[in-house]
Amino acid sequence: MTFDLWSLISVFCSLIVCFLLFGDASAVGAFEQVGADTTTHADSVTVKSPMGALVRSMVVPGWGQWYNERPIKGAVIFSTGLFLGGAMMYEQQRTLDHRQRNTYFLWFLGVFLYNIADAYVDAHLYGFEEDAETVQLAYGNSDDRMPMVFMRIRF
Stronger pLDDT, 64 or 17, i.e. the higher one: 64
Q: How many CA atoms lie within 13 A of 22 on its CB side?
A: 5
Give CA–CA dist 102/20, Å, rounded.
32
Reply yes or no on whether the pLDDT at 126 is more than 70: yes
Residue 147's pLDDT band (boundaries 50, 70, 90)? confident
Percentage of the chain beyond pLDDT 70 is: 57
Give CA–CA dist 2/145, Å, rounded.
67
**What's the confidence (pLDDT) of residue 98?**
82
The whole-model pTM stands at: 0.58
Stronger pLDDT, 32 or 52, i.e. the higher one: 52
Q: CA-CA distances (angstroms) from residue 24 to 29, 35, 66, 125?
A: 10, 11, 10, 21
Stronger pLDDT, 109 or 142, i.e. the higher one: 109
Contact (Cβ atoms closer than 8 angstroms) between residue 104 and residue 120: no
Contact (Cβ atoms closer than 8 angstroms) between residue 98 and residue 92: yes
Reply yes or no on whether the pLDDT at 19 is more than 90: no
Mean pLDDT along residues 15-26: 52
**What's the confidence (pLDDT) of residue 28?**
42
Cα 125 vs. chain centroid, distance in angstroms?
A: 15
Query: Which residue ranges make up each domain of the chain?
Result: 5-153
Residue type, 92: Q
